[in-house]
Amino acid sequence: MQQIALILLSLAIGVILRLSGRLPESATKVFGGWVINVALPATALSSVHGLSIDRDWWLAAAVPWICVAVACALIIPLSRALHWSRQRAGALILVAGWGNTAFVGLPMIAALAGQQWLGLGVVIDLFGSYLALSVVGIAIATVASAGHFDWRAVVRRIVTFPPFIAILVALATNHLARPEWVTEVFDTLAQTLTPIALAAVGYALRVNRISGRLGALSTGLTFRLLVAPAVIVLVYAMFDSVHDPVAKVAILEAAMPPSLGASIVAIDHDLEPDLVALLIGIGVPLALLTAWAWWSLLAY
């Protein structure tokens, strides 16, 4: 409950800061710069150390990759049919394709499945959401922003993306002992992700700009909250394991609201920031209800 309260409060703080006029219009970029260059890398360095992985968890770790692939398969042709801009298509794929598997997902796992499944949640977030965003997400954002595919530019953005570098460093040093003070520093910096990322989204959130974006907003939220978890239910149904505890946690993670990290990447690439902010601002509180509904459905 504390984490959920922090999410809603941080979003409100961003809105209040914008309305107060105390910060410049460029504040969202500053917030986003901190998240991408400091908070996300610190999260990787904090989460990976000492993490052990069960072999049965790899399908669960693939869940975010599957959701992103389906998002591309559905949203790209739909955007072309409706003549949406590449910026809108890119924003929808990024924000609807990725779920908030960490800062909403982990508290939801603890509340509904139990603390013993948090390790699985971390694996899904790190090797699923986090790694996919660092590779596929940056590629999508680069192409949507530039309007063409330049493989050199895409590769350059990926290999210089601070969270991607942090993942490589974290994996390479996972077996090494770490002084306690280093762990505490990484943990403290990682804890800034939720408040600052949501403050950035809240600062960009303008409900009065929903006009002309209702169709895209509905599409993004429908995919993230309904289609994505339904797809993962079908995937596990193929293996006749929908009611397996690992499957239930993976489906719950697939039902999470739009990702904060992906939203910051979208805003940083100027991919329709108003739509991104609306998806987060409406999607986060709405997902608290829909995710609970999915979990209740899986209980039968």
Which pLDDT score is estimated for 281?
83
Domain boundaries of the chain, sorted by first residue? 10-17+26-298
Q: Which residues of the chain have pLDDT under 70?
A: 1-4, 50-53, 300
Give the per-residue pLDDT at 192: 86
258 forms beta bridges with 99
The predicted structure's pLDDT at residue 67: 96
Task: List the CATH code of the domain at 10-17+26-298.
Answer: 1.20.1530
What does the alpha-carbon distance between residue 141 and residue 133 come to, in Å, rounded to a whole number? 10
pLDDT, position 219:
96
Helices of type H across the chain: 2-20, 27-34, 40-48, 58-61, 63-81, 86-97, 105-112, 118-123, 131-132, 138-146, 151-159, 162-172, 180-190, 193-204, 214-222, 228-238, 245-254, 260-268, 273-298
Residue-level pLDDT at 140: 93
pLDDT digits (tens, 9 = 90+) for 71-99: 999 999 999 999 999 999 999 999 999 99
In residues, how long is the chain?
300
